[in-house]
Amino acid sequence: MTRIDYLNDPNAPVPNSIVPAASAVVTNDAGEILLQRRSDNDLWALPGGTMDVGERIAETVVREVREETGLEVEVTGIVGVYSNPGHVIAYSDGEVRQEFNLCFAARLVGGQLSVSDESTEVRWVAPLAIEQLPMHESILLRIKHFLEHGPAPAIA
């Protein structure tokens, strides 16, 4: 399945769903951030995905990081809540979602770095090198909020 992200685009399709999702800014001891190159749009992104029934949202992000990168993480905080109705995600199956994502801060606790069917590449990236990668603005915003270390979670 492919996806197209629209941001404040008057020609974006009209959303037909909202699905709780979580993403993670995972850091290692060197201060690098874990990123994956998505197989559905070829853009770099934070690991994450949608919540399953019977799951807490923090469990969602731990599971998604494991599934997408092979790494085990521990949630250490909340970066922000992202629910911009101007960010619309259209999938090839006809679903069109309005963004709803809780982004968590997390630290590496184990595992082995690996790709999944949702990623073509996974790697640690120094914060200064992130803006050079092809990445959607919504992901850059989450990373920016994480790096700013604000006193409270961002609400965007």
SS3 64: helix
**Is 90 exceeded by the pLDDT of residue 137?**
yes
Q: Two tokens at 21?
A: 């999702």
Alpha helices in the chain (DSSP H): 57-69, 137-148
Residue 14 Ramachandran class (φ > 0 left, ψ -120 to 50 alpha, else beta) = beta
Model confidence, pTM: 0.94
pLDDT digits (tens, 9 = 90+) for 113-127: 999 999 999 999 999
pLDDT value, residue 66 = 97
pLDDT digits (tens, 9 = 90+) for 82-113: 999 999 999 999 999 999 999 999 999 999 99
If pLDDT is split at 50, 70 and 90, which confidence band does 65 have?
Answer: very high
CA distance 88 to 5: 6
CA distance 107 to 90: 31
Determine the average pLDDT of the residues in 6-12: 96
SS3 68: helix
Q: Two tokens at 115?
A: 């790709």
CA-to-CA dists, residue 150 to 20, 91, 143, 147, angstroms: 23, 33, 12, 8
Give all domains of the chain, ordered by start, each with its CATH number.
3-155 (3.90.79.10)
72-77 long-range CB contacts below 8 Å, 24 or more apart?
72/108, 72/109, 72/110, 72/111, 73/24, 73/26, 73/106, 73/107, 73/108, 73/109, 74/106, 74/107, 74/109, 75/24, 75/104, 75/105, 75/106, 76/104, 76/105, 76/106, 76/107, 77/104, 77/105, 77/153
